[in-house]
Structure 1
């Protein structure tokens, strides 16, 4: 109908995710809103990018969350140039919804400094809250839920004692100010609710404030944040934040009638057997592992401390492959883990082994991730399985690289922030189904849900009865 507003043609959002699980969450938010999205696991070739212009979202997953500023300075600018070439009106540096970062590792501030000159905009929204993920920002402070209980981020049972990026500050503006010299402002949820957001944004921009944090506490503030971003984008706007950015844009586009309020297909057929690997130390993942052990999974421990020696690690991975295949042959599912929760003695043993060896923790962690990828790769191929789950934000990227997977598209909403995806690969794993699960993501039955499926009427989803 003449006069009806419409979204522009072509890609709407181009994003880089600073870890693989979070990148899949951004893809999920767009895909299940009816906006097909592809996630590349490395900067795409010009040929692959040209073949992807029909997608409304184009993402590139990376590992910047686990890297230092020197690595960022060398590796991020070429990726940001690719995002710029896509030409989407929104360019997004996607960060974890618990804002994992520090000046020396995963610096969001350094990433913003590198991205802003390349990706455009006279202001840069910072949006981290995601109510669907249990993340809430109020007066600039971030809160996150665990088992339905809300915690201020600096008192969060996991993030306050994260082994790499412990969060001792819940005010995201103050936390980010340690990482960049750019000025940082805030539009709070009260201002939004009172209809003063546009005026507040105008004042902040007139004062030269470059980064403006947006409170997201509920659906109304999520939608209003999406409106501020979209209506004040100019020709192109660079945004930093969690998957809440895509969720906010979708919420506004729906409210404005720019896209239909469609619902995803909440059905997934089960499979007889799956294989999973976990490099996560999260208590959420620990609960999921314990639940899986009671429901048909063999939990096979891998001694990560052996990864300080390449030869010993190769032997350990070989043993893990044998144990995983034996579990599958016995009629159970295979779940290979390096630890179960933050208090697992395996974590201390690994840290002690790294210290005694003289190796760097980064090098050992890379070896662990690659080994888990090799193990999953071998098990899937030998057992001819078509579905898998990888737990752990940093682990996921290393595993997929080892498996030769170069892109993902979301196919089913397994858990908020962890969609089941279809893989693209030049090797044997083309079309395999795989989910990437961050440490804080998913209900206790996630591994079983991935195996059993859900929402299929007229038949049991027990794995012995579903093909």
Structure 2
């Protein structure tokens, strides 16, 4: 990477939907930010000479700790080489993980090895998304960008029943503590009222510190605290897009960045393709809404895809035909539970269908729903990078895709996590 570029922040997301969430909040703060599929080469960065923020949309959320380490150590080394003052490992706002899959603790261990910080901050909440951390316990609204009720994480109707990493503990210190041997401290909501200089006074030998986050007004102070933790080297941190919101708000206050308050309205698409590998009840309600509002529906046999490694090209042709007729089409994996099915195979199948449809039709906008499958779908579509072009629902911006594939290059794409949006989400496009 080229150290001559003034990189304020580099983040590595554990999946694609969460990565576009981080992309949105730092772009709203005024940063020129580009999200890449892999850590970018010097040649790729030369295409964006005024870039402030580098993002990488990883796939570690669905991997084992050993697989994560194999990917994260070189990725972190490359992001460190960018000269960025801040490097953030971006996790889902509900901290989806376990000791066996998508281990946040393993990511912390890898970050500690590469960056050698005295203290690794973990930012616990993101108020704009309905995620609140109070005395170390995480609470989450049902449906980001909706008016759903707020639940303690281990009692959340969706997250407590996640098919791969069900939430059984709301205290993030205990949750992450099952995944790393590092001692985890807490800066709680009462300490946030104290001057930033006093925040570390209660810490003794902690290597990781969780920071409560309840209110938008607390973000500037959190950003100030993070900005001052390491004077002479890169600071490594962990959390949801609360990290981007905190740093962005602080950089706005310091006039390092100027926030973007007006966006060009993208309008409605003539034809629309939605592909979904999400098992979330939020997405299920959105699919039902789409079916009741003239979306053509195609259901994939998820079990067959996984067991037979089968991708039905006939479906891709049928989708392309419907799109050429200016239809709105939704392709999903059905109502049957898909626990323990391969996210890689499901996501790749969905992405392959989407790419085939894009190649054979004039569709200009695609929505990809499902955190665990999104990274594989994006790769199957041959997307190399994305840049935010408009906000829609918090945490799921509309983006422009960059690709060496001419039909994919310039495509408008939206990556939606399972918990994002009200019932009529797909009607926004």
Instruction: Give the TM-score range, shorter chain.
Output: over 0.9
Hey, what's the Cα distance between the residues in 2 that align with 1:329 and 1:88? 45
Partner of 1:179: 179
Which residue matches 1:459?
Answer: none
**In 1, distance between residues paired with 2:387 and 2:189?**
34
Q: How does 1:57-456 map to 2 (within 5 A)?
A: 57-146=53-142, 147-193=147-193, 195-204=194-203, 207-235=204-232, 236-265=234-263, 267-310=265-308, 313-314=310-311, 317-339=312-334, 344=335, 346-347=336-337, 361=340, 364-427=342-405, 428-450=407-429
Greater fraction helix: 1
Unaligned runs of 5+ in 1: 1-7, 352-360, 451-467
Question: How far did residue 161 of structure 1 move?
Answer: 1.3
Any conservation in 2 of the 1:140–1:188 contact (CA below 8 Å)?
A: yes
CA contact (8 A) 1:187 1:213 kept: yes
User: What CA deviation, in whole Å up to 9, does each residue of 1:24-58 have, x standing for no partner?
Assistant: 11111111221110111122233213444521110
Shift of 1:75: 1.5
Q: Distance in 2 between matches of 1:107 and 1:281?
A: 20
Q: Quote the RMSD (CA, aligned, Å).
A: 1.9
Could you tell me how far 1:266 is from its partner in structure 2?
Answer: 5.9
Structure 2 residue corresponding to 1:46, chosen from 42, 46, 56: 42
| Conserved? CA contact 1:279–1:338, under 8 Å | yes
Once residues 119 and 51 of structure 1 are traced to their aligned partners in structure 2, the CA distance between those partners, rounded to angstroms, is 28
Q: Which runs of no fewer than 5 residues in structure 2 stay unpaired?
A: none
Distance 2:320 2:69 in 1: 42
Task: Number of aligned residue pairs: give it.
Answer: 420
Equivalent in the alignment of 1:456: none
Q: Tell me, what secondary structure is at the counterpart of 2:283?
A: helix
Per-residue deviation at 1:192?
1.1
Alignment TM-score, normalising by the size of structure 1: 0.86
Range with bigger deviation, 366-375 or 166-175: 366-375
**C-alpha spacing 1:398/1:30, structure 2 compared with 1 (3 Å):** same
Give the Å deviation of 1:225.
Answer: 1.3
Instruction: Give 3-state SS (helix, strand or coil) of 1:405's partner.
Output: coil
